[in-house]
Structure 1
Amino acid sequence: MDRRERAHLAYLHSMPEVGQQSLRLIKDKMGAFEPVFKASSRALYSLGLPNRTVLSILEHRHGNISAYFDELERKEIKICTIEEADYPAMLAEIFDPPYLFYYDGNIDLASRFCLAMVGSRAASYYGKKQAHTLAGQLADQGVVVVSGMARGIDTQAHRGALDAAGDTIAVLGSGLDIIYPAENNELYHTLRKKGLVISDFAPGTPPLAGNFPARNRIISGLSYGVLVVEARRKSGALITVDFALEQGREVFSIPGQLDSKNSEGTNQLLKDGAIFVTEYRDILQEYPQYFTAVKPSFAEQPSLFELDNNEVDVLKCMSHEPIHLDELVAKSTVSMGILSELLMRMELKGIIRCLPGNYYVKV
């Protein structure tokens, strides 16, 4: 597809009511997109497009196509259509794949072995830690981690892969030029530079709630499997699971605390037959044709320190959720003076982590 035709395609998709199915129908019936801009209303209606789509095309097709496409290029927003070699084979095989998507970054990542990691936006410390650790370990084995750049689990999945010098893909529920959430501005730009960012929504599309199920379908569509790290019973992450099952993908889940609302969804998935995951090997062993020899992960560090009795006592008082120093004093059998020294020593050993506000958590 030459630049002129690509510009007409992009401008057409920017019009209200012109979605992926309309693009596919136009291409199938007319063979190209530029003729749409000169076709009569009778010809457009004869394509079988919805009335609202035809009316939108007739209203909006007289804009400055060249200027619009120049702006996309200035923003380094690229287009990949299903007819091109770079279009990911896994995505192409799902029901009704998007005719096009927009991207920036290394498009080759989408054709490698991808695994989706999803979960709660309001994630617990436990969930965030598991997401970051597992993403790093999987990325270290050559897995491309796919997620949605949302708060919580998604963010930690991307960061875990990047921190392991691995590869990761973000699929957005907005236009490629819209950063959501805004707090992930730095992550977004890092992903465009070191990974891949994808959206099947036209540039400028805001992150409307109705966009995210469609985004989730792309996340699972790119991936060989979906790992749910932490999710409430009615979490949006479970929509990704539904798509994964429809697409014939494996579903994995991490067990969570029995009394945690954030783990109700993941624990139910395990009851329903999701593959139980307590370490990254549990995932890789499901794909022996791709991972015949699993190397030791960068995150698997042998324990270099033995714990003394006081450290064991303190550790028993802690969990993967933050606990305040005052509560540790009340729960443990050591004095404040000794406890402060123990906590410092345990942090140096990498056993625990000190958080702002005198909170501590197991690592």
Structure 2
Amino acid sequence: MSKQIPYDKEELAAWVRLVLTPGIGIRTAHKMLVAYGLPQNIFMASYQELQRIVSPQIADAICAPLSETIREQIGKTERWLDEPGNTILTLADSRYPGSLLEIPDPPLMLYVKGRVELLSKPSIAIVGSRNATAQGCIDAEKFGCSLSDAGLTIISGLALGIDAAAHRGGLKGSGSTVAVIGTGADIIYPARNRELAHQIAREGCIVSEFPLGTGPLASNFPRRNRVISGLSGGILVVEAAARSGSLITARTAIDQGRDVFAIPGSIHSPLSRGCHALIRQGAKLVETSQDILEELKHYNPVANSQADRREPESAALTEDIVSRIGFDPVDTDTLCERCRLDAATLNVELLKLELAGEIECLPGGLYRRLVSSV
């Protein structure tokens, strides 16, 4: 957990007020900060001075008395900051991630739960469909784990499907994970990821640019996506339909000068079409995590893979069963014959393989091997 650093209440109040003043967007705020340096100076400026930079309507809003709504939000933010592990980074903070300063519209404030230092570590985003296939989730988790073990922090958006799998993989590796969310930092969305979010807050980092109490509005998520790509050295799209939000993130990454990678899939799968479109547009086709590491120049091979840590006899039996299952569905009677095992022994090994994500149980008691691309 990051060390709590004392904050200036007046300075914090001015930043919150700047963000919440009606009519002030990020670009207008940046223009005023360039002119006045800090938010406190903006609110001390005269109406006549402000009119030289912003419209009369915005000047009126800045000079208006502090509203009760903003006053309450300032109090809520102060109480949130007093909780262990919570931090706010403003554009004036030396800990504000440098990669975000490179994008055209960096957030004025970042609400952070967990390890602030992860925001400035070498990282890669992994994104994809909320309605992912079992294979897609396996790929996302394994790529996340492998890239995390190579020293990269895994960035994603805490959505269901690919995002959640990527976070789980990142947590398993040494690089950990950062969840960029589209709500206030005091709200977990979707609720099904509550346990995962708590784990990320403990072992990784959750970050939001939205004021506390902000709900999951549809307009928030494109804004969130630019932060996901902005924090990252590159972005990997695992599965995406032809009109997927992940493609918006990828296009934003391209605009920000980030590398874009995509995993190909079946020509018959709707969730492969987005990835194939990106590849046609110049994204790098990847089959293994090393394809990404070599491109990003962060290659650091993992000394011990999960397979290497198995007991030798168990590993040999497991590999033999996997090789005999193949990628076409097969029933247990056929597998008993292929593997020369009794049904009880085989069922124990099949359960282990299914829990490890190496095979998939299909309706009718059939099993199929899942592709491991990492």
Match of 1:5 in 2: 11
Residue 345, structure 1, aligned to residue 349, structure 2: yes
Secondary structure of the equivalent of 2:106? coil
Aligned to 2:185: 176
Query: What's the counterpart of residue 316 of structure 2?
Result: 305
CA distance in 1: counterparts of 2:136 and 2:333, whole angstroms: 26
Tell me: CA distance 1:15–1:331, structure 2 relative to 1, closer, same or farther (3 Å). farther
Structure 2 residue matching 1:268: 3-state secondary structure: helix
User: 2:37 pairs with 18, 31, 34, which one?
Assistant: 31
Q: CA deviation at 1:32?
A: 3.1
For the residues of structure 1 that align with 2:26 and 2:366, how far apart are their CA atoms?
A: 49
| Aligned length in residues | 351
Change (3 A) 1:254 1:285: same
Once structures 1 and 2 are overlaid, which stretch shifts more, 56-65 or 213-222?
A: 56-65
Shift of 1:74: 4.1
Deviation by residue 1:143-178 (Cα, 9 ceiling, x = unmatched): 100000011100000011113354111111122112
Provide the rounded CA distance (Å) in 1 between the counterparts of 2:333 and 2:273: 30
Matched AA of 2:114: G
Shift of the 26–236 alpha-carbon distance from structure 1 to 2, 3 Å rule, reads same
What amino acid maps onto 1:9 in structure 2? Answer: W
For 1:7-43, what per-residue CA distance to the aligned partner results, in whole angstroms no more than 9, with x for missing partners? 2212332344433223323323333323555666555
Q: Give the distance between the partners of 1:103 and 1:8, measured in 2 at CA.
A: 18
Q: Does the C-alpha gap of structure 1 residues 315 and 218 become closer, same or farther in structure 2, counting only changes over 3 Å? A: same
Summarize deviations over 1:202-228 as a string: whole Å, max 9, x none.
222222111111111111111111000
Match for residue 244 of structure 2 among 229, 235, 244: 235
Question: Counterparts of 2:56 and 2:222 in 1: how far apart (Å)?
Answer: 23
Task: Work out the percentage of aligned pairs sharing the same amino acid.
Answer: 35
Q: TM-score, normalised to structure 2's length?
A: 0.81
Counterpart for residue 3 of structure 2: none
**Equivalent pair of 2:331/2:366 in contact (CA under 8 Å):** no
Please show how residues 47-196 of structure 1 align to structure 2 within 5 Å: 47-49=53-55, 51=57, 53-54=58-59, 56-57=61-62, 61-63=66-68, 64=71, 67-74=75-82, 77-164=86-173, 166-196=175-205
Unaligned runs of 5+ in 2: 1-6
Alpha-carbon separation, structure 2, partners of 1:80 and 1:144: 19
Contact 2:149–2:174 (CA<8 Å) still a contact in 1?
Answer: yes
Partner Cα separation in structure 2 for residue 97 and residue 308 of structure 1 = 48
Alpha-carbon distance change, 69 to 45 in structure 1, aligned in 2, over 3 angstroms: farther
**After alignment, is 55-64 or 152-161 more displaced?**
55-64
For structure 1, the 5+ residue unaligned runs are 319-326
Between stretches 352-361 and 165-174, larger displacement belongs to: 352-361
Residues of 2 paired with 1:14 and 1:260: CA distance? 44
1:315: which partner in 2?
Answer: 326
Asked if structure 2 preserves the Cα contact closer than 8 Å seen for 1:12 and 1:61, the reply is no
Aligned counterparts of 1:109 and 1:95: Cα–Cα separation in 2: 22
Contact 2:14-2:40 at 8 Å conserved across structures: yes
Q: Judge which range, 126-135 or 273-282, deviates more.
A: 273-282
Say whether residues 1:287 and 2:296 are aligned partners: yes
For the 8 Å contact 2:140–2:162, the answer to whether it is kept is: yes
State the alpha-carbon separation in 2 of the partners of residues 148 and 277 from structure 1. Answer: 21
Using structure 1 for the length normalisation, give the TM-score.
0.84
Asked if the contact 1:22/1:49 (under 8 Å) is kept, the reply is: no
| 1:153–1:230 Cα contact (<8 Å) kept | yes
Larger helix fraction of residues: 2
Query: Cα distance, 1:276 vs. partner?
Result: 1.6
